[in-house]
């Protein structure tokens, strides 16, 4: 359906969300640089768009609030007074509130008389009146508010306008509701008459319910200037559709029509019009349109039934389109892809032409074309992946605000430096790294950086710095969170770990092992609990989230100087590096990230411990052995570990050794779901298509260990 | 009792899309018996290709297959309905069916024909005399002089496939 209302709604929300992020980042820039008019204009435009577009979809609360925000922004823009910290705070709070309203509108909840909203609206208004003008400028009356605010003092005298509006036929397809516009007009003054012209209405059978055949003429008595009436139609009417004529006025000069009027105004009013028709369109009376039409004998009941039927189908169809996830893609990316697909089609036709009359002398040509095909497919694969890529700035953008709020909360002066925000990575990864990064930043603010007095005492600048950086490295994406704070304290962590009986005092641990302790659930060295952090949940979440994405977290720290957290993530979740292994006749794939090393053990390295099962001694460390053929019930080639290959795997900080027959090779594999047509299989993370077209199963190391343990229990 | 079975057969028959004027069935052989599946449930038929085993599965689940990029589980139909298995031949085919929006493959000895059987020629399945459990059948259809056992694949693949598979891991 081309006129699907819900599709517009979705676009509307996408755009509003974009505008909100423009608003927030703009406000943060403004704080650094209060006189940047360009930023102010940008913010203003965003708020104005939200305000203007809201009523079209019936989100009046949103629009009303945006209007209040705009009223405060306008004098800022006109440099009547400058943006103080208080104003920015208030505006940021308003942005949050606006976001809340948007979310509410999206979920269909009604927020009308919400306390937060009312409270903020009141504060916005007080702010307007209280804020002193900038010295050196003449105090100007704040009448510049662009849109109708009911209590706004406007000087122009009461005037009567005749408004004639003949909207284009695509009015409804553009997602506009004329009723909302007239409600808006009604708020400007008294509507003395409003007539709907239906002369252009076709017969019911020909009527396309998604087209607008109507025009309106209404007379309005108002105190507001003509511009305000025009602004109501700003988004709805294109030039030529709207004529506003001043009828009578207390002021001697009648204002000329501003807009060019290429066609004579549609003042023709169908005399047979039933006033109820207009009523239906304005939603004032519950009579159904159909009933009236039948009564007027304009249509037969049969026609009516048919039309209603069609209406029903259309409604049903439009419902089905709901809740589709959508994404915005750079047009350039799509264009390139279309070109490539064109090339692919050409290569294909060349190949099939060759195949039609193939002789062995054409072999070199065949090889050349196959090579071309390979290049094409490879490039298409890369480009299609690229479509799913988003710049990481979509995540990073929310952090300046977070750090700003946190720095106020923890009483530290913190600056956040972001770089590499244009680095692209897969949507699915983007969506899941927000949380871990938030935890890391909170941690850096609360624990990493010292309080100002401590910093000064240590000879550091009072302002703490957190650097957030993203870059590509070796086919992976690295994100670093670096603070120039006190660094991790080895002794403190060790003491805490001993206290919590994670380690004993006798253990000698390397630095890396000590730092790894902070990722344990419930581990925190913070002396007191704050609402920012200290519960020992955060770092645990970071590690688990990152590992769920097949990524790794590492820590570097220099005591007293800095701590750097590095997250290494795959560019996409759909493709992983895998090691192909073989047991008997079966091929499996092990995610490369979980493989630490592979060894061919000597017979004396493998030992049996009662109660612990089989273990292998690798340079002094003992790892339990999982025989893949036992767990999966396969026919192996080797049952003696000394003849087989042992893979040392790491999962969730635990190391296990998996015994296989042979390592076949390393390759990138595209993960396919088994569950789509089947169900979850224990010990298998997914499947992939191997080079020969058969299915290969990807091992789930965690699940494998679990399976092996169950097997042991049963055996014991 | 017979009426109850007939009613049940009819009910399940309707689920399979059997209309009053009769329906088309794809028939295939298991041994010397002829079986049928409503043609609306068939996605495609393909020759037997090697299948990747899935570990720790009940024996009638052969494994998974790559069907143009999607992973499709394959069920050995003989085992699923309690018949002895035989070696695969050049006639062995995989019938891909859709059950509850999932695609899965059934290995059968050979495909036979597409026949139209009208509703009046479908009788409730007797609860004896067949080699398979009667609850897997939605009825016995007459096509010419042949009898076709109509499979109720929904029933078959709930009881013999999902549950047993779940029980195997529990």
Question: How high is the pLDDT of residue B45?
Answer: 93
Whether A550 contacts A573, CB under 8 Å: yes
Among A183-187, A248-252, A451-455, the minimum mean pLDDT is found in A248-252
pLDDT confidence bin for B60, thresholds 50/70/90: confident
User: Considering its fold, how many domains does chain A have in total?
Assistant: 5
A523-527, A677-681, B3-7, B24-28, range with the lowest pLDDT: B3-7
DSSP-assigned letters across all residues of A562-609: EEEEEEEEES-SSEEEEEEEEETTEEEEEEGGGEEEEE---GGGEEEE
pLDDT surpasses 70 at A549? yes
Residues A262 and A404 in one domain: no
Task: Identify from A582, A584, A677 which residue to disrupt to test chain B contact, counting B C-beta atoms within 10 A and taking the largest count.
Answer: A677
Task: Residue A634: list chain B partners with CB under 8 A.
Answer: 55
Q: How far apart are CA A277 and CA B119, in angstroms?
A: 54
Question: What per-residue confidence (pLDDT) applies to B97?
Answer: 92
Q: Is residue A443 annotated as a catalytic residue, yes or no?
A: yes
Q: Are residues A593 and A555 in the same domain?
A: no
Cα dihedral: A702, A704, A706, A712 (round 10): -150
In angstroms, the separation between the Cα of residue A586 and the nearest Cα of chain B is 8
Q: What is the mean pLDDT of residues A505-534?
A: 69
pLDDT tens, position by position, B66-86: 888 889 999 988 888 778 888
Q: Which of B55, B66, B72 sits opposite A694 (nearest CB)?
A: B66
Give the gap in angstroms from C-alpha A550 to the nearest C-alpha of chain B: 22
Judge whether A367 lies within some domain: yes
ipTM: 0.76
The reply to whether residue B70 touches residue A693, judged by beta carbons under 8 angstroms, is no
- Nearest-Cα distance to chain B for A646, in Å, is 20
Cβ atoms A698, A688 nearer than 8 A = yes
- Six-digit token pair at A260? 């060019």
Annotated catalytic, A234?
A: no
For chains A and B, count residue pairs whose Cβ atoms are closer than 8 Å: 67
pLDDT at A537: 61
pLDDT digit string, tens, across residues B99-148: 878 888 999 999 998 998 888 888 877 666 555 666 778 888 888 888 88
Q: Do A632 and B102 touch (CB under 8 A)?
A: no
Of A81, A88, A17, A19, whose CA–CA distance to A47 is shortest?
A19
- Whether domain B2-161 has CATH 1.10.10.10: no
Which pLDDT tens digit goes with each residue over A270-302?
444 445 544 444 444 445 555 555 566 655 666
Same domain, A534 and A672: no
Tell me the nearest-neighbour CA distance from B154 into chain A, angstroms.
Answer: 14
Closest CA to A482 of A563, A593, A378, A584: A563
Kindly state the percentage of chain B with pLDDT values over 70. 73
Q: Are residues A355 and A411 in the same domain?
A: no
- Interface contact flag, B55 A672, Cβ < 8 Å: no
Q: Domain for residue A38, yes or no?
A: yes
Q: Going by DSSP bridges, is the β-strand pair B102-108/A414-419 parallel, antiparallel, or unpaired? A: unpaired
Same domain membership, residue A473 and residue A425: yes
Does A140 reside within a domain?
Answer: no
Q: For residue range A21-57, list pLDDT tens digits in order.
A: 888 888 888 887 777 778 888 888 888 888 887 777 7
Q: Is the pTM of this model over 0.90?
A: no
Evaluate if residue A228 carries a pLDDT over 80. no
pLDDT in tens, A594-635: 888 999 888 888 887 766 678 888 888 888 888 888 888 888
Looking at A343, A366, A387, which one is the last position of a domain? A387
State the pLDDT confidence band at A240, using cuts at 50, 70 and 90.
low
Who's near A160: CB < 8 A, 6+ residues apart?
A192, A219, A220, A221, A222, A246, A247, A248, A249
Residue A652 has pLDDT above 80, yes or no: no
A632 and A519 co-located in one domain: no
Which of these three, A265, A298, A320, is where a domain ends? A320
The domain containing residue A38 runs over which residues?
5-130
| Active-site position among A19, A24, A48, A482 | A48
Which residue among the candidates A70, A184, A450, A547 is catalytic per the annotation? A70
- pLDDT confidence of A265, banded at 50, 70, 90? very low
Same domain, A32 and A72: yes
| A48 carries an active-site annotation | yes
Q: Tell me, yes or no, whether A395 and A522 share the same domain.
A: yes
- Dihedral sign of CA atoms B103, B109, B111, B117 in order: negative
Boundary-marking domain end, from A293, A320, A347: A320
Given CA atoms B123, B124, B128, B134 in this order, what sign does their dihedral have?
A: positive
> Of B53, B71, B166, which is closest to A674 when you measure between CB atoms?
B71
pLDDT value at residue A105? 79
The mean per-residue pLDDT over the stretch A118-134 comes to 67
Q: What is the mean pLDDT of residues A134-145?
A: 39
Residues A632 and A558 occupy one common structural domain: no
pLDDT bracket for residue A103 (50, 70, 90): confident
**Domain for residue A631, yes or no?**
yes
Q: What is the pLDDT of residue A532?
A: 54
H or E element that contains A704: helix A701-715
Mean pLDDT, chain A, rounded, equals: 76
Please write down the HEC assignment for all residues of A202-256. CCHHHCCCCCCCCEEEEEEEECCCHHHHHHHCCCCCCCCCEEEEEEEECCCCCCC
Q: Is there a contact between A380 and A341 (Cβ–Cβ < 8 Å)? A: yes
- Same domain, yes or no, for A655 and A597? yes
- Chain B residues within 8 A of A693 when measuring between CB atoms: 66
Highest mean pLDDT range out of A429-443, A519-533, A535-549? A429-443
- Residue A695: list chain B partners with CB under 8 A: 51-52, 63-66, 71
Report the length, in residues, of chain A: 716
Q: Are residues A77 and A172 in the same domain?
A: no
Q: Which residues of B touch A683 (CB under 8 A)?
A: 55-56
Q: Which of A631, A634, A677 sits opposite B102 (nearest CB)?
A: A677
Buried b vs exposed e over B18-41: b needs ≥16 C-beta within 10 Å?
A: beeebbebbbbebeeebbbbbeeb
For residues A395 and A383, state if they share a domain: no
Spatial distance between the Cα atoms of A409 and A442, rounded to a whole number of angstroms: 11
Q: Which of A75, A83, A76, A72 is nearest to A34 (CA)?
A: A83
Instruction: Note the residue count of chain B.
Output: 170
Q: Do the Cβ atoms of A659 and A550 come closer than 8 Å?
A: no
In a domain, A147, yes or no: no
Name the residue facing B66 among A631, A682, A689 (closest C-beta): A689
In a domain, A509, yes or no: yes
Banded model confidence at residue A579, pLDDT cuts 50, 70, 90: very high
């Amino acid at each position: 359906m081309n006129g699907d209302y819900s599709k517009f709604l979705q676009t509307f929300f996408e755009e509003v969300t974009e505008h909100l992020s423009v608003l927030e980042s703009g406000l943060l820039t403004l704080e650094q640089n209060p006189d940047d008019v360009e930023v102010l204009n940008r913010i203003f435009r965003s708020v104005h768009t939200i305000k203007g577009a809201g009523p079209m979809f019936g989100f009046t609360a949103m629009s009303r609030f945006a209007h209040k925000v705009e009223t405060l922004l306008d004098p800022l823009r006109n440099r009547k007074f400058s943006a103080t910290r208080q104003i920015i705070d208030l505006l940021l709070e308003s942005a949050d509130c606006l976001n809340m309203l948007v979310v509410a509108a999206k979920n269909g909840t009604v927020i009308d008389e919400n306390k937060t909203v009312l409270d903020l609206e009141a504060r916005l208004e007080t702010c307007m009146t209280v804020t002193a003008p900038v010295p050196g400028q003449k105090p100007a009356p704040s009448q510049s508010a662009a849109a109708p605010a009911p209590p706004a003092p406007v000087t122009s005298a009461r005037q009567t306008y005749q408004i004639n509006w003949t909207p284009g036929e695509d009015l409804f397809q553009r997602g506009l509701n004329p009723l909302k516009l007239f409600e808006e007009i009604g708020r400007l003054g008294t509507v003395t008459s409003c007539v709907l012209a239906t002369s252009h209405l076709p017969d019911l059978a020909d009527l396309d319910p998604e087209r607008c055949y109507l025009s309106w003429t209404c007379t309005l008595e108002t105190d507001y200037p003509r511009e305000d009436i025009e602004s109501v139609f700003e988004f709805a009417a294109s030039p030529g559709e709207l004529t506003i004529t001043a009828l009578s006025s207390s002021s001697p000069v009648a204002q000329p029509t501003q807009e060019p009027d290429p066609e004579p105004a549609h003042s023709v009013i169908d005399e047979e019009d039933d006033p109820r028709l207009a009523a239906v369109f304005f939603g004032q009376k519950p009579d159904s349109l159909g009933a009236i039409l039948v009564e007027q004998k304009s249509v037969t009941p049969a026609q009516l039934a048919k039309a209603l039927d069609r209406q029903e189908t259309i409604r049903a169809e439009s419902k089905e389109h709901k809740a589709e996830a959508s994404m915005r893609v750079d047009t350039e990316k799509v264009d390139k892809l279309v070109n490539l697909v064109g090339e692919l089609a050409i290569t294909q036709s060349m190949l099939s032409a060759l195949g039609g009359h193939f002789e062995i002398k054409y072999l070199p040509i065949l090889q050349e074309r196959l090579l071309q095909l390979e290049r094409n497919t490879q490039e298409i694969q890369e480009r299609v992946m690229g479509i799913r890529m988003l710049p990481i700035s979509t995540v990073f953008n929310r952090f300046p605000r977070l750090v700003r709020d946190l720095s106020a909360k923890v009483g530290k002066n913190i600056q956040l430096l972001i770089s590499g925000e244009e680095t692209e990575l897969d949507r699915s990864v983007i969506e899941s790294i927000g949380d871990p990064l938030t935890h890391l930043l909170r941690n850096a603010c609360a624990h990493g950086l010292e309080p100002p007095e401590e910093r000064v005492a240590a000879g550091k600048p009072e302002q703490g710095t957190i650097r957030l950086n993203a870059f590509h490295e070796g086919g992976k994406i690295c994100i670093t969170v670096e603070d120039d704070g006190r660094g991790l304290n080895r002794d403190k962590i060790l003491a805490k770990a001993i206290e919590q009986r994670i380690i004993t005092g006798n253990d000698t641990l390397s630095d890396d092992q000590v730092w790894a302790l902070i990722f344990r659930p419930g581990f925190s060295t913070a002396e007191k609990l704050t609402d920012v952090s200290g519960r020992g949940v955060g770092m645990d979440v970071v590690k688990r989230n990152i590992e769920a994405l097949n990524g790794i977290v590492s820590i570097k720290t220099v005591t007293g100087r800095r701590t750097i957290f590095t997250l290494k993530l795959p560019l996409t979740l759909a493709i992983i590096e895998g090691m192909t292994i073989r047991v008997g006749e079966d091929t499996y794939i092990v995610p490369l990230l979980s493989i630490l090393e592979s060894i061919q053990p000597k017979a004396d390295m493998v030992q049996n411990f009662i109660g612990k099962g089989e273990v292998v001694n690798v340079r002094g460390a003992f790892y339990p052995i999982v025989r893949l053929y036992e767990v999966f019930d396969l026919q192996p080639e080797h049952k003696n570990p000394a003849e087989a290959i042992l893979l040392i795997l790491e999962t969730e900080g635990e190391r296990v050794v998996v015994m296989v027959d042979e390592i076949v090779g390393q390759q990138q594999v595209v993960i396919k779901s088994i569950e789509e047509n089947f169900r979850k299989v224990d010990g298998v993370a997914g499947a992939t298509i191997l080079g020969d077209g058969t299915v290969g199963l990807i091992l789930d190391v965690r699940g494998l260990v679990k399976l092996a343990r169950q097997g042991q229990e049963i055996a014991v | 009792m017979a009426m109850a079975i007939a009613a049940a057969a009819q009910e399940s028959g309707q689920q399979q899309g059997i209309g009053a004027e009769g329906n088309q069935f794809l028939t295939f052989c298991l041994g010397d018996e002829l079986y049928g599946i409503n043609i609306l449930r068939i996605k495609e038929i393909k020759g037997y290709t090697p299948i990747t085993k899935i570990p720790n599965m009940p024996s009638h689940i052969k494994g998974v297959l790559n069907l143009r990029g999607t992973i499709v589980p394959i069920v050995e139909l003989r085992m699923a309905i309690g018949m002895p298995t035989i070696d695969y031949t050049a006639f062995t085919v995989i019938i891909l069916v859709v059950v509850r929006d999932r695609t899965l493959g059934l290995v059968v000895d050979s495909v036979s024909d597409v026949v139209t059987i009208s509703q009046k020629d479908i009788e409730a399945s007797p609860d004896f005399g067949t080699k398979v459990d009667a609850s897997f059948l939605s009825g016995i259809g007459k096509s010419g002089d042949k009898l076709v056992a109509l499979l109720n694949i929904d029933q078959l693949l709930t009881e013999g496939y999902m549950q047993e598979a779940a029980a195997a891991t529990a």
